[in-house]
Amino acid sequence: MLPILMLVVILLLLALGVPIAFTLGATALMFIVLYADIPLGLLLQQLYLGTNSFPLLAIPLFMLAGSLMNHGGISKRLINFALSLIGMVRGGLGMVNVVASVFFGAITGTAAGASAAVGQIMIPAMKEKGYSPSFSAAITSAGSSLGIIIPPSVPMILYGSISGLSVADLFLAGVPIGITIAIGYMVVVYTISIKKKYTFTEEPFTFKYFLKTFIAATPAFLVPVAILGGIISGFATPTESAAIAVLCGIVAGVIYKELTWQGFLDALNESVVNTALVMFIVATAKILGYSFSALGVGQQMLAPFMANADNSIMLMLVASLILFIGGFIFDGTVMVLVIVPLFLPLVQATSIDPLQFAMMVIIVWAIGQQTPPVASGLYITTAIAKVSMLQVSRYNVWFILVLFIALMGMIFTPHIMLYLPNLLIN
């Protein structure tokens, strides 16, 4: 009964327009005062402990690196490089959109950063080439979810901070899975482009143009190479790689001669604001998680699951369903910080691979970014394309299907989905 009451209070506060961070903190405070005899000073301690984590230091650094890239002339050079690779096929500009999202996923670490950076350039370009605005927005929105699957990923950092799982292992697992999903996206783009008979007038492939765009984009490639290279070689931790990424962003901006002093200050301001938003939610979610523990909410919710503790697939299916429903209500950050910790004891008590469960959570998070009413990925792209969310959802459902197939693959065939990551980790 208590979990249902807390959920009702959270939904009521959200419906009244209370910001999510205040909603979480107020709900925790209310129920602790009413149902638990705990000194309120402990809540302040939990508020501090929620953000007192070394892995979380990577979040502001990766956000700063992404902002520096956006202000340093990286966007158009990466997109030109992608255009030189696949711009000559039907639906090529849509596929360039996906490939650009892969690149920006390896730079920004957030879906919002990727959708804003790619959408501002690709959506107008696709509309000019005759693609429908809703289809252009759907591709960009779906591609933005690659920003949380392909490292550096802020969600993976958050997950590692609450679960104790190595962020480096999560990063390594995200690369092949993200690329596989991107290929699935491109199949969808190609199929829809044929059905809609979109024309394509892009230049045919030439090695000269490919080499020209590759050389121009080389400084931009420093970031993913520095991040993954440092982690795989053991030279740097994910947090240290984030600091290196910031340095690479500055170097690339200087090389391109497009990172001005004002642009640098704007990048700092953007990263500070975005970090503050995330960390405030992290801190208040810690209080709510503490209230769950103090009030025994976790035990009440997990009791029905323990009856099927010997069936890992069933547990994964039910957990993904609960997380999927949570994605309709909560932002992914809240979902991971509040709901996931309730499942972690169950994962530890069963035969579920912690890395398998982690990637399942990340994929469900990606689906949640594409499904209204939260749909953070859709809000940015629909605003840029000036179309309604319903119009975009007609196309977006096919990209969600790709994510759903990846989710089922992670649940039923984890040995295939995690084959390459396990080789690299072991």
Domain ranges, ordered by start, for the chain: 53-425
Bond prior to 152 in cis (omega within 30° of 0) = yes
Residue 260 has pLDDT above 70, yes or no: yes
Say how far apart CA 78 and CA 249 lie, in whole Å: 14
Section 378-390 average pLDDT: 80
Helix axes 2-15, 20-35, angle to 10 degrees: 140
- What's the confidence (pLDDT) of residue 182? 93
The stretch 23-31 carries a mean pLDDT of 85
Structure tokens at 399: 């990209």
Token pair in block for residue 142: 């779906």
Mean pLDDT rounded to a whole number for the chain: 81
Q: Is the pLDDT of residue 33 over 80?
A: yes
Number of residues that this document lists for the chain: 426
Q: Is residue 166 scored above 80 in pLDDT?
A: yes
Report the C-alpha gap between 365 and 373 in whole angstroms. 14
Alpha helices (runs of H) in 164-308, residue ranges in sequence order: 167-196, 207-233, 238-256, 261-295, 297-306
Residue 380, H or E segment: helix 376-385
Degrees, nearest 5: CA angle 80-378-134: 70
The residue-averaged pLDDT of 135-148 equals 88
DSSP 3-state percent helix, strand, coil across the chain (nearest 5): 80, 0, 20
Q: Decide if pLDDT at 307 tops 70.
A: no
- pLDDT of 228: 73
Cβ neighbours around 21 below 10 Å, total:
20
Q: Which residues contact 341 (CB under 8 A, 6 or more apart)?
A: 162, 289, 292, 298
Residues 373-385, buried b or exposed e (16+ Cβ, 10 A)? ebbbbbbbbbebb
Asked if pLDDT for residue 147 goes beyond 60, the answer is yes
At 309 the pLDDT is 60
